[in-house]
Amino acid sequence: MKDENILENTKSKSIKEIKEEINQILEKLENNETNLSESMNDYARLITLNKRIDTFFKKRNKEISIIGKEKEKEKINNL
């Protein structure tokens, strides 16, 4: 499955759901409950979930930046 398809599968998840899945995978890896093949798959899933969170925060950062610029313009216009 390509990265884009995997990321599509995570788009419907909230940050809280992603965090829970990450914690489950980390706990599984820390307890050595998986074989090497499963561990590699879990690691790949962690990378995918991390990319989703990164995308979410970049989007939020952009939104916040736009709001900040608009407020700054308002402030300048009110002077």
pLDDT of residue 1: 44
The DSSP-derived string for 6-57 is HHHHHTTS-HHHHHHHHHHHHHHHHTT-S-HHHHHHHHHHHHHHHHHHHHHH
pLDDT of residue 4: 54
Q: For 1-55, how does the pLDDT look when each residue is reduced to its tens digit (9 = 90+)?
A: 454 555 566 667 888 999 999 999 999 888 876 788 888 999 999 999 999 999 9
pLDDT of residue 32: 76
- Determine the Cα–Cα distance for residues 10 and 27; give it in Å rounded to an integer: 20
pLDDT of residue 59: 93
